[in-house]
Every structure is written in structure tokens, then in C-alpha cells.
Amino acid sequence: MTIIESKATVNKPVNEVFAFLSDLTNHQQLMPENIYNWSATRDEARFTIQNMAKLAVKVASRTENQQIVIVPSEEAPFAVELKWTLADNGGGTTAVTHTISADLNMMMKMLASGPLQKLADHQTKRLAAVV
């Protein structure tokens, strides 16, 4: 299992960050330019990654003000889990950890680890900017 992680501090209370991340319609604001054909509801999202694949994901679980777990809702090119973990830093700020766990063989790991790390970093950076 390949684990990719990105962390950020968001200058908003944990409940506001959780409310934003809990609704998958908001996640379009976190995506890089190579994501298109976006459609989403609160619990599911569909999109295309340029030159790669179409993905459909859904919220598997929400733990109030602590964690959101997102998994594929249809067959994906590889097993993957997206996890947002939140912690109240006090003073109205929130520590956010975005973890992508992907079951990649050696060849896929060489091809996909860099883009997945860029995606995680981009999303945490955008989260701090848009929430």
C-alpha cells in the first residue's frame, strides 16, 4: 500500500472545515486544472483526470469534526482511499491531514506516486485558501 500525505493549517474553526469537506460539491474548488467533467452531490462525485481515468467516488464515513473517508463508488484503476483528518488547534485554526492510500504495483507506483503527491499537496493548499 502506498501512503501519500499532505498537511496544512487552516485559519478556520474545525466545524467550518469539516462542514466544507463533508460536502463533495465543495471538492471541485480543491481540484487542479487537469480535473474536468466534474459532477457532484453531497455524498458522491464523478470526474475525469486528464490523460488518465474517469473516477466516481463516495463518502464512506464521516466522523463529526474529525474525519471524512472517501472511496471509489465504481471500479477504479486501483484500490484507493482518500482520508481527511482534522484536529482543532485552538484559536480558531484547524490542523488538516489529507492522506491518499493506494494499492499500487511497482510500475503504477513509479507512474502515479508523483501525480498523487501533487494532487494531495494542491488540495491541502487550496483548502487553506478557499475555506
User: Which domain CATH number covers 102?
Assistant: 3.30.530.20
Task: Name, in order, each residue with C-beta under 8 angstroms of 20's C-beta and a sequence gap of 6 or more.
Answer: 26, 127, 130, 131
| Number of H-type helices and E-type strands within the chain | 2, 7
Instruction: Compute φ and ψ for 69, nearest 5 degrees.
Output: -115, 130
What is the 8-class DSSP label of residue 16? H
CA-to-CA dists, residue 19 to 26, 32, 48, 122, angstroms: 10, 21, 25, 20
C-alpha cell belonging to residue 97: 491531514
Query: Residue 71: exposed, middle, or buried by beta-carbon count in 10 A (0-12, 13-18, 19+)?
Result: middle
Average confidence (pLDDT) over 8-29 = 97
Domain count within the chain: 1
Least trusted range by pLDDT, from 69-78, 82-91, 121-130: 69-78
The reported pTM is 0.92
Q: In this predicted model, which residue has the larger pLDDT, 5 or 33? A: 5
| Residue 95 scores a pLDDT above 90 | yes
Which domain, by its residues, includes 62?
Answer: 2-130
Residue 42: helix, strand or coil by DSSP?
coil
Q: How far is Cα 93 from Cα 116, in angstroms, rounded to an integer?
A: 26
Q: In this predicted model, which residue has the larger pLDDT, 8 or 51? A: 8
